[in-house]
Amino acid sequence: MTAIDPTAHLTAEQIEELGRELDAIRDDVLASRGEKDAAYIRKVISAQRKLELVSRGVLLFSIFPPAWVLGTAGLSVAKIMDNMEIGHNILHGQWDWMRDPKIHSTTWEWDHVSPSDQWKHSHNELHHKYTNVIGKDNDLGYGIMRVDEDQKWHPFHLGQPLWNFLNACFFEYGIAAYDLELGKNLHKRRRKNPEFRSRAKAVGRKIRKQVLKDYVIHPLLSGPSFLPTLAATFTANLVRNLWSHSVIMCGHFPEGVQVFERRSIKGETRGQWYLRQMMGSANISGSKAMHFMTGNLSHQIEHHLFPDLPSNRYAEVAVKVRALFEKYELEYVTGPLPKQVFSAWHKVVRLSLPNKKPKLKTPAREQEVLAA
């Protein structure tokens, strides 16, 4: 964390020009979106379904260790594909333009215990609009962790390495609780709120279906392979949870990522919003396979700038975005997965302890906004 605003050298005009340049990148992709992109997502969906079918089929014989290993690996990958490259991106509306009612943000349901509509609200609406704004974006530590010096320390944070680990293992449940704003809603009399109750019921229904499928029906179908199949689905869910948690931690937690004061977004212009997304996100570098398995969230910066562009286009967009970072002398935070995961965990551990003096940065442009 720096006490110096890394964007201080930019004038208001430059920030608006940056916004226009980013809009131009977006327009280029929109204009060339077409058949190839549609074929891409259909192919991914079809591959995911086939992989899941085959893996589940193999697990019927999971009493034999090689079948267990093969089926568990396949199912883990299938679940990761479902959540990352398919679910997350469809629910962002990235494929709504195809007008295919089956591949649409309003109809898609994913292999996850949080119902799509609740996740869309907390993720698409709150997190993506208020990226890294303390007090507005609950993704900053998911309400259970302190991930920036500017956040107030509380003795509860001493345990945050443990909370983070548990959250990683049961990530989908953590997300469901988070989407329900469970922490806030279980307090006081809020839990009786009918709106909360109906949302909690929806989560309950979804959990029941998911658990029944993974831990009852499929093991039962496996007959003598009941227990190995149970262990396999549990493992696949665990692998998927650990993987998605790691990827998502890399998006906003690594060192070098900025957080913002609630005041700083008052009267924010489009250019300033773009700049906040640029400074508030971090990428993961790596191979094509790595980008695919992260659901292209390895291009977190590009995703935050253009959350509704098809994920298969982020790689080409990244080249242009990175050039803008250089042009405007901004730091493009990126690195290989192990490095970024370590960096994020390091921060979680470090900030479990209080820091001496939280320094509040008040960027020059914020002064201007406040003065205006």
Partner 1 sequence: MTSTALRSRAWKLLEMVTTPLLPSDYLDLVSPLRAGADLRGRIEAVHPETGDAATIVIRPGRGWRGHTAGQYVRIGVDVDGVRLWRAYSLTSPTNRRDGRVTITVKAIPDGKVSNHLVRRVKPGTLIHLDQATGDFVLPRTKPAKVLYLTAGSGITPVMGMLRDTEFDDVVMVHCAPRPQDVIFRNDLHDLVADTKLRLTEVHTDTDGMLDIARLDELVPDWAERETWACGPAGLLDAAEKHWAEHGVPERLHTERFRPTVVVAGDGGEVTFSTTGRTVDADGATPLLDIGEAAGVLMPSGCRMGICFGCTTPLTAGAVRDLRTGEITEAEPGVLIQTCVSAAAGPCAIER
Which regions of the chain does DSSP assign to beta strands (E)?
Answer: none
Whose Cβ is closer to partner 1: residue 24's or residue 349's?
Answer: 24
Rg of the chain in Å (alpha carbons) = 21
Among 217, 353, 360, 370, binds partner 1 (CB under 8 A): 217
* CA–CA separation, 145 and 160 (whole Å): 6
Among 34, 183, 223, 338, binds partner 1 (CB under 8 A): 34
* CA–CA separation, 353 and 356 (whole Å): 10
Among 54, 128, 150, 231, binds partner 1 (CB under 8 A): 128
**C-beta of residue 71 within 8 angstroms of C-beta of residue 55:** yes
Whose Cβ is closer to partner 1: residue 9's or residue 50's?
Answer: 50
End-to-end CA distance of the chain: 28
Whose Cβ is closer to partner 1: residue 112's or residue 361's?
Answer: 112
Among 120, 157, 291, 347, binds partner 1 (CB under 8 A): 120
Nearest to 161 by CA among 370, 350, 297, 295: 350
The one segment of 116-124, 132-140, 182-190, 322-330 that binds partner 1 by CB under 8 A: 116-124
Give the footprint of partner 1 on residues 297-326 (CB under 8 A). Answer: 307-308
The one segment of 167-175, 180-188, 207-215, 242-250 that binds partner 1 by CB under 8 A: 207-215
209 contacts partner 1 (rule: CB under 8 A): yes
204 contacts partner 1 (rule: CB under 8 A): no
Describe the crossing of helices 270-279 and 12-32 by its angle, rounded to 10 degrees: 80
Minimum gap (Å) between residue 270 Cβ and partner 1: 9
Nearest to 179 by CA among 213, 202, 145, 154: 202
Q: Is the dihedral of CA 210, 216, 221, 224 positive or negative?
A: positive
9 contacts partner 1 (rule: CB under 8 A): no
201 contacts partner 1 (rule: CB under 8 A): no
Minimum gap (Å) between residue 106 Cβ and partner 1: 6
Nearest to 82 by CA among 129, 24, 41, 126: 41
Nearest to 172 by CA among 117, 119, 96, 94: 119
Token output for 230? 């149970």
Footprint of partner 1 (CB under 8 A): 23, 27, 30, 33-39, 46, 49-50, 53, 92-93, 96-102, 104-106, 109-111, 120-121, 124-125, 128-129, 206, 209-210, 212-213, 217-218, 221, 273, 307-308
